Amino acid sequence: MTESNIAPKLLVQMHRELLRVRHAELALAERYKQQEMRTPTHFGVGQEAVAVGVCAALRKDDVAYSHHRSHNHFLAKGGSVYRLAAELFGRETGCSRGRGGSVHLTDLSVGFVASSAILGEALAAATGSALSFKMDKANRVSTAFFGDAVAEEGAFYECLGYAALMKLPVLYVCENNGYATESPLAIRQPEGVSITGRVKSFGIETFYVDGNDVCAVYETAAKAVAFAREHMLPVFLECTTYRWLEHVGPHFDHDLGRTYRDEAELQDWQQKCPVRRSETVLLATGLATEAELEGWEAAIKAEIEADIERAYADPWPDPSQLFDNAS
Protein backbone atom coordinates (compact mmCIF):
# COMPACT_ATOMS: atom_id res chain seq x y z
CA MET A 1 0.00 0.00 0.00
CA THR A 2 1.38 3.39 -0.96
CA GLU A 3 1.57 6.36 1.36
CA SER A 4 -0.94 9.02 0.43
CA ASN A 5 -2.36 12.40 1.33
CA ILE A 6 -5.94 11.22 1.07
CA ALA A 7 -8.26 12.82 3.63
CA PRO A 8 -8.97 10.53 6.60
CA LYS A 9 -12.72 10.72 6.03
CA LEU A 10 -12.29 9.50 2.44
CA LEU A 11 -9.96 6.67 3.49
CA VAL A 12 -12.61 5.38 5.87
CA GLN A 13 -15.36 5.90 3.30
CA MET A 14 -13.46 3.94 0.66
CA HIS A 15 -12.76 1.11 3.09
CA ARG A 16 -16.42 0.82 4.00
CA GLU A 17 -17.25 0.83 0.28
CA LEU A 18 -14.72 -1.94 -0.33
CA LEU A 19 -16.46 -3.97 2.36
CA ARG A 20 -19.90 -3.30 0.87
CA VAL A 21 -18.83 -4.35 -2.61
CA ARG A 22 -16.86 -7.40 -1.41
CA HIS A 23 -19.56 -8.79 0.85
CA ALA A 24 -22.38 -8.05 -1.56
CA GLU A 25 -20.56 -10.11 -4.18
CA LEU A 26 -19.78 -12.95 -1.77
CA ALA A 27 -23.37 -13.05 -0.48
CA LEU A 28 -24.81 -13.04 -3.99
CA ALA A 29 -22.38 -15.76 -5.05
CA GLU A 30 -23.61 -17.97 -2.21
CA ARG A 31 -27.24 -17.34 -3.12
CA TYR A 32 -26.46 -18.02 -6.77
CA LYS A 33 -25.58 -21.61 -5.88
CA GLN A 34 -29.22 -22.16 -4.86
CA GLN A 35 -30.22 -22.02 -8.55
CA GLU A 36 -32.77 -19.24 -8.10
CA MET A 37 -30.98 -16.62 -10.18
CA ARG A 38 -31.57 -17.36 -13.87
CA THR A 39 -28.91 -15.04 -15.21
CA PRO A 40 -25.23 -15.65 -16.00
CA THR A 41 -23.08 -13.84 -13.43
CA HIS A 42 -19.48 -12.67 -13.62
CA PHE A 43 -18.40 -11.89 -10.07
CA GLY A 44 -15.66 -9.33 -9.45
CA VAL A 45 -14.39 -10.56 -6.09
CA GLY A 46 -10.76 -9.45 -5.75
CA GLN A 47 -11.10 -6.51 -8.16
CA GLU A 48 -13.00 -4.12 -5.85
CA ALA A 49 -10.28 -1.48 -5.47
CA VAL A 50 -10.51 -0.47 -9.14
CA ALA A 51 -14.23 0.28 -8.97
CA VAL A 52 -14.10 1.94 -5.55
CA GLY A 53 -10.98 4.03 -6.22
CA VAL A 54 -12.12 5.27 -9.63
CA CYS A 55 -15.72 6.01 -8.62
CA ALA A 56 -14.47 7.93 -5.56
CA ALA A 57 -12.70 10.25 -8.01
CA LEU A 58 -15.85 10.84 -10.08
CA ARG A 59 -18.67 13.25 -9.38
CA LYS A 60 -22.25 12.05 -9.17
CA ASP A 61 -23.09 13.75 -12.47
CA ASP A 62 -20.19 12.02 -14.24
CA VAL A 63 -21.34 8.85 -15.94
CA ALA A 64 -20.02 5.29 -16.01
CA TYR A 65 -20.46 2.31 -18.31
CA SER A 66 -19.38 -1.23 -17.60
CA HIS A 67 -19.01 -4.67 -19.09
CA HIS A 68 -20.23 -8.15 -18.13
CA ARG A 69 -18.37 -8.11 -14.75
CA SER A 70 -20.32 -5.03 -13.71
CA HIS A 71 -21.57 -5.46 -10.13
CA ASN A 72 -18.53 -3.73 -8.60
CA HIS A 73 -18.90 -0.65 -10.79
CA PHE A 74 -22.68 -0.45 -10.30
CA LEU A 75 -22.31 -0.52 -6.52
CA ALA A 76 -19.27 1.76 -6.34
CA LYS A 77 -21.00 4.41 -8.47
CA GLY A 78 -23.80 4.44 -5.90
CA GLY A 79 -26.13 1.63 -6.93
CA SER A 80 -27.98 -0.24 -4.18
CA VAL A 81 -27.41 -3.83 -3.14
CA TYR A 82 -31.18 -4.27 -2.85
CA ARG A 83 -31.89 -3.30 -6.46
CA LEU A 84 -28.93 -5.35 -7.72
CA ALA A 85 -30.12 -8.43 -5.84
CA ALA A 86 -33.69 -7.92 -7.07
CA GLU A 87 -32.36 -7.74 -10.64
CA LEU A 88 -30.48 -11.02 -10.25
CA PHE A 89 -33.61 -12.66 -8.82
CA GLY A 90 -35.59 -11.32 -11.82
CA ARG A 91 -37.89 -9.20 -9.68
CA GLU A 92 -39.87 -6.15 -10.80
CA THR A 93 -37.96 -4.01 -8.28
CA GLY A 94 -34.62 -4.79 -9.90
CA CYS A 95 -32.57 -1.94 -11.31
CA SER A 96 -33.64 -3.05 -14.81
CA ARG A 97 -37.09 -4.23 -13.62
CA GLY A 98 -35.89 -7.84 -13.69
CA ARG A 99 -35.50 -7.86 -17.47
CA GLY A 100 -31.76 -7.29 -17.80
CA GLY A 101 -30.10 -9.69 -15.37
CA SER A 102 -26.53 -9.43 -14.18
CA VAL A 103 -25.04 -8.04 -17.38
CA HIS A 104 -27.60 -5.30 -18.05
CA LEU A 105 -27.56 -3.03 -15.00
CA THR A 106 -28.57 0.61 -14.93
CA ASP A 107 -29.26 3.39 -12.44
CA LEU A 108 -29.32 6.83 -14.01
CA SER A 109 -29.94 8.46 -10.63
CA VAL A 110 -26.33 7.73 -9.65
CA GLY A 111 -24.77 8.13 -13.10
CA PHE A 112 -24.40 4.43 -13.87
CA VAL A 113 -25.83 4.37 -17.39
CA ALA A 114 -25.46 0.77 -18.50
CA SER A 115 -23.48 -2.43 -18.56
CA SER A 116 -23.27 -4.87 -21.44
CA ALA A 117 -21.91 -8.32 -22.16
CA ILE A 118 -20.68 -7.16 -25.57
CA LEU A 119 -16.93 -6.53 -25.40
CA GLY A 120 -16.05 -3.01 -26.47
CA GLU A 121 -19.56 -1.65 -26.11
CA ALA A 122 -18.78 0.24 -22.91
CA LEU A 123 -16.02 2.15 -24.69
CA ALA A 124 -18.21 3.08 -27.62
CA ALA A 125 -21.12 4.18 -25.42
CA ALA A 126 -18.88 6.15 -23.06
CA THR A 127 -17.20 7.85 -26.00
CA GLY A 128 -20.63 8.85 -27.28
CA SER A 129 -21.56 10.32 -23.90
CA ALA A 130 -18.30 12.27 -23.87
CA LEU A 131 -19.16 13.66 -27.31
CA SER A 132 -22.54 14.84 -25.99
CA PHE A 133 -20.83 16.49 -22.99
CA LYS A 134 -18.53 18.35 -25.35
CA MET A 135 -21.38 19.45 -27.62
CA ASP A 136 -23.38 20.63 -24.58
CA LYS A 137 -20.31 22.32 -23.09
CA ALA A 138 -20.96 20.31 -19.92
CA ASN A 139 -18.09 19.96 -17.47
CA ARG A 140 -18.63 16.24 -17.06
CA VAL A 141 -16.54 13.11 -17.58
CA SER A 142 -17.68 9.83 -19.11
CA THR A 143 -16.05 6.61 -17.89
CA ALA A 144 -15.75 3.15 -19.44
CA PHE A 145 -14.69 0.10 -17.41
CA PHE A 146 -13.49 -2.88 -19.46
CA GLY A 147 -11.13 -5.85 -19.30
CA ASP A 148 -7.78 -6.47 -20.98
CA ALA A 149 -9.40 -8.65 -23.67
CA VAL A 150 -11.08 -5.56 -25.09
CA ALA A 151 -7.65 -4.31 -26.16
CA GLU A 152 -7.76 -7.09 -28.77
CA GLU A 153 -10.93 -5.75 -30.41
CA GLY A 154 -11.22 -3.25 -33.23
CA ALA A 155 -13.74 -1.15 -31.32
CA PHE A 156 -11.03 -0.37 -28.76
CA TYR A 157 -8.80 1.33 -31.34
CA GLU A 158 -11.69 3.02 -33.12
CA CYS A 159 -12.79 4.63 -29.85
CA LEU A 160 -9.26 5.71 -28.93
CA GLY A 161 -8.74 7.29 -32.32
CA TYR A 162 -12.10 9.05 -32.36
CA ALA A 163 -11.79 10.37 -28.78
CA ALA A 164 -8.27 11.67 -29.44
CA LEU A 165 -9.31 13.27 -32.71
CA MET A 166 -12.44 14.90 -31.31
CA LYS A 167 -10.83 15.77 -27.95
CA LEU A 168 -13.47 14.11 -25.75
CA PRO A 169 -13.55 14.03 -21.92
CA VAL A 170 -13.62 10.26 -21.48
CA LEU A 171 -11.78 8.10 -18.96
CA TYR A 172 -10.97 4.60 -20.22
CA VAL A 173 -10.33 2.22 -17.31
CA CYS A 174 -8.76 -1.12 -18.24
CA GLU A 175 -9.07 -3.77 -15.51
CA ASN A 176 -6.18 -5.99 -16.51
CA ASN A 177 -6.79 -9.23 -14.63
CA GLY A 178 -4.58 -11.22 -16.97
CA TYR A 179 -7.24 -13.43 -18.49
CA ALA A 180 -9.75 -13.33 -21.33
CA THR A 181 -12.21 -15.93 -20.08
CA GLU A 182 -9.59 -18.69 -19.53
CA SER A 183 -6.86 -17.47 -21.91
CA PRO A 184 -3.86 -15.80 -20.21
CA LEU A 185 -2.46 -12.57 -21.56
CA ALA A 186 0.86 -14.24 -22.45
CA ILE A 187 -0.69 -16.36 -25.21
CA ARG A 188 -2.83 -13.52 -26.58
CA GLN A 189 -0.48 -10.60 -26.92
CA PRO A 190 3.14 -10.26 -28.13
CA GLU A 191 5.93 -10.35 -25.57
CA GLY A 192 7.37 -7.01 -24.58
CA VAL A 193 4.41 -4.84 -25.48
CA SER A 194 1.81 -3.35 -23.19
CA ILE A 195 -1.74 -2.12 -23.51
CA THR A 196 -0.75 1.24 -22.04
CA GLY A 197 2.12 1.48 -24.52
CA ARG A 198 -0.20 0.98 -27.45
CA VAL A 199 -2.62 3.59 -26.17
CA LYS A 200 0.21 6.13 -25.90
CA SER A 201 0.67 5.91 -29.67
CA PHE A 202 -2.68 7.70 -30.04
CA GLY A 203 -1.28 10.70 -28.18
CA ILE A 204 -3.56 9.95 -25.23
CA GLU A 205 -2.47 10.68 -21.64
CA THR A 206 -1.97 7.35 -19.86
CA PHE A 207 -1.66 6.12 -16.29
CA TYR A 208 -0.70 2.70 -14.90
CA VAL A 209 -1.42 1.62 -11.33
CA ASP A 210 -1.60 -1.30 -8.91
CA GLY A 211 -5.31 -2.06 -9.12
CA ASN A 212 -5.41 -3.83 -5.75
CA ASP A 213 -4.32 -0.69 -3.87
CA VAL A 214 -7.41 1.47 -3.42
CA CYS A 215 -5.37 4.50 -2.34
CA ALA A 216 -3.15 4.33 -5.40
CA VAL A 217 -6.15 3.81 -7.67
CA TYR A 218 -7.99 6.79 -6.18
CA GLU A 219 -5.00 9.13 -6.34
CA THR A 220 -4.21 8.14 -9.93
CA ALA A 221 -7.84 8.27 -11.02
CA ALA A 222 -8.22 11.70 -9.43
CA LYS A 223 -5.33 12.97 -11.59
CA ALA A 224 -6.79 11.31 -14.67
CA VAL A 225 -10.30 12.69 -14.10
CA ALA A 226 -8.96 16.17 -13.38
CA PHE A 227 -6.95 16.06 -16.62
CA ALA A 228 -9.94 14.95 -18.68
CA ARG A 229 -12.21 17.58 -17.09
CA GLU A 230 -9.74 20.46 -17.37
CA HIS A 231 -8.42 19.77 -20.87
CA MET A 232 -11.49 18.04 -22.35
CA LEU A 233 -9.32 15.18 -23.55
CA PRO A 234 -9.41 11.38 -23.28
CA VAL A 235 -7.38 9.62 -20.58
CA PHE A 236 -6.42 5.96 -20.22
CA LEU A 237 -5.91 4.19 -16.88
CA GLU A 238 -4.64 0.60 -16.73
CA CYS A 239 -5.12 -1.21 -13.40
CA THR A 240 -3.51 -4.58 -12.72
CA THR A 241 -5.76 -6.83 -10.65
CA TYR A 242 -7.08 -10.40 -10.38
CA ARG A 243 -10.49 -12.09 -10.17
CA TRP A 244 -10.76 -14.77 -7.52
CA LEU A 245 -13.74 -16.72 -8.82
CA GLU A 246 -14.32 -18.49 -12.13
CA HIS A 247 -15.05 -16.43 -15.25
CA VAL A 248 -18.80 -17.03 -15.05
CA GLY A 249 -20.32 -18.31 -11.85
CA PRO A 250 -19.79 -18.48 -8.09
CA HIS A 251 -17.11 -21.15 -7.77
CA PHE A 252 -13.32 -21.25 -7.53
CA ASP A 253 -11.70 -22.69 -10.64
CA HIS A 254 -9.65 -25.23 -8.70
CA ASP A 255 -12.79 -26.59 -7.02
CA LEU A 256 -14.12 -27.41 -10.48
CA GLY A 257 -10.89 -29.02 -11.67
CA ARG A 258 -10.07 -26.35 -14.23
CA THR A 259 -6.39 -26.19 -15.12
CA TYR A 260 -5.86 -22.86 -16.89
CA ARG A 261 -4.68 -21.46 -13.54
CA ASP A 262 -3.89 -23.16 -10.26
CA GLU A 263 -4.75 -22.57 -6.61
CA ALA A 264 -1.22 -21.35 -5.83
CA GLU A 265 -1.63 -18.46 -8.26
CA LEU A 266 -4.94 -17.52 -6.64
CA GLN A 267 -3.42 -17.65 -3.16
CA ASP A 268 -0.56 -15.42 -4.27
CA TRP A 269 -3.04 -12.79 -5.40
CA GLN A 270 -5.14 -13.20 -2.28
CA GLN A 271 -2.10 -12.01 -0.34
CA LYS A 272 -2.67 -8.71 -2.19
CA CYS A 273 -6.34 -8.55 -1.17
CA PRO A 274 -7.54 -4.94 -1.58
CA VAL A 275 -9.73 -5.10 1.52
CA ARG A 276 -6.94 -6.35 3.79
CA ARG A 277 -4.49 -3.80 2.37
CA SER A 278 -6.98 -1.02 3.12
CA GLU A 279 -7.36 -2.35 6.66
CA THR A 280 -3.60 -2.14 7.09
CA VAL A 281 -3.64 1.56 6.19
CA LEU A 282 -6.47 2.37 8.58
CA LEU A 283 -4.75 0.56 11.43
CA ALA A 284 -1.34 2.10 10.69
CA THR A 285 -2.74 5.62 10.56
CA GLY A 286 -4.88 5.17 13.66
CA LEU A 287 -8.12 5.78 11.78
CA ALA A 288 -9.62 2.56 13.08
CA THR A 289 -9.03 -0.14 15.64
CA GLU A 290 -9.36 -3.86 15.09
CA ALA A 291 -12.65 -3.79 16.97
CA GLU A 292 -14.00 -0.96 14.83
CA LEU A 293 -13.03 -2.75 11.62
CA GLU A 294 -14.80 -5.89 12.77
CA GLY A 295 -17.85 -3.88 13.79
CA TRP A 296 -18.11 -2.14 10.42
CA GLU A 297 -17.75 -5.43 8.58
CA ALA A 298 -20.42 -7.13 10.67
CA ALA A 299 -22.87 -4.25 10.25
CA ILE A 300 -22.35 -4.08 6.48
CA LYS A 301 -22.82 -7.85 6.12
CA ALA A 302 -26.07 -7.64 8.09
CA GLU A 303 -27.35 -4.80 5.87
CA ILE A 304 -26.51 -6.79 2.75
CA GLU A 305 -28.29 -9.91 4.00
CA ALA A 306 -31.38 -7.82 4.81
CA ASP A 307 -31.30 -6.26 1.32
CA ILE A 308 -31.04 -9.66 -0.34
CA GLU A 309 -33.88 -11.14 1.71
CA ARG A 310 -36.06 -8.12 0.91
CA ALA A 311 -35.27 -8.46 -2.81
CA TYR A 312 -36.07 -12.20 -2.77
CA ALA A 313 -39.49 -11.51 -1.30
CA ASP A 314 -40.39 -8.97 -3.98
CA PRO A 315 -42.92 -9.71 -6.77
CA TRP A 316 -42.15 -11.04 -10.21
CA PRO A 317 -42.81 -8.78 -13.22
CA ASP A 318 -46.33 -8.90 -14.61
CA PRO A 319 -46.25 -11.11 -17.76
CA SER A 320 -48.63 -8.68 -19.48
CA GLN A 321 -45.85 -6.07 -19.35
CA LEU A 322 -43.28 -8.32 -21.03
CA PHE A 323 -43.02 -6.11 -24.11
CA ASP A 324 -43.10 -2.75 -22.32
CA ASN A 325 -40.44 -0.43 -23.74
CA ALA A 326 -39.72 -2.89 -26.58
CA SER A 327 -39.81 -1.54 -30.10
For 28-58, the pLDDT digits (tens) are: 999 999 999 999 999 999 999 999 999 999 9
- Rounded to an integer, what distance in angstroms lies between the CA atom of residue 8 and that of residue 168? 33
| Percentage of the chain modeled with pLDDT above 90 | 94
Torsion angle of C-alpha atoms 277, 279, 280, 283, degrees rounded to 10: 170
The CA distances from residue 75 to 22, 48, 100, 234, in Å, are 10, 10, 16, 24
217 contacts 239 by C-beta, under 8 angstroms: yes
- Residue-wise pLDDT for 149-200, tens only, equals 999 999 999 999 999 999 999 999 999 999 999 999 989 998 888 999 999 9
Residue 248 has a CB neighbour count (10 Å cut-off) of 14
Structure confidence at residue 322 (pLDDT): 82
Sequence-ordered list of residues with C-beta below 8 angstroms from that of 178, at least 6 positions apart, any chain: 148, 184, 185, 240, 242
What number is the average pLDDT over the span 258-272? 97
Residue 241 has pLDDT above 60, yes or no: yes
Q: Which of 268, 283, 223, 211 is nearest to 51 (CA)?
A: 211
Angle at 4 between CA 242 and CA 49, to 5 degrees: 20
The answer to whether the CB of 160 falls within 8 A of the CB of 234 is yes
pLDDT at 18: 98
- The Cα 242–Cα 177 span in angstroms is 4
Judged against a pLDDT cut of 60, whether residue 294 lies above it is answered with yes
Q: What is the pLDDT of residue 258?
A: 95
Mean pLDDT of 132-158: 97
Q: Tell me, what's the pLDDT at 5? A: 86
Give the residue among 220, 223, 207, 212 at the shortest CA–CA distance from 278: 212
Q: Do 285 and 60 form a contact (C-beta atoms < 8 A)?
A: no
User: Comparing C-alpha atoms, which of 170, 134, 175, 129 is closest to residue 151?
Assistant: 175
State mean pLDDT over 127-138.
98
d(CA 8, CA 287): 7
What value does the mean pLDDT take over residues 230-236? 98
Residue 27: which H helix or E strand, with range?
Answer: helix 8-32
The whole-number pLDDT of residue 323 equals 84
Average pLDDT over residues 274-287: 97
Residues belonging to the chain: 327
Average pLDDT, the chain: 96
pLDDT score recorded for residue 3: 54
pLDDT of residue 2: 46
For residue 106, is pLDDT > 70?
Answer: yes
64-89 residue pLDDT tens = 999 999 999 999 999 999 999 999 99
Lowest-confidence segment of 59-63, 141-145, 185-189, 222-226 by average pLDDT: 185-189
3-state SS, residue 150: helix
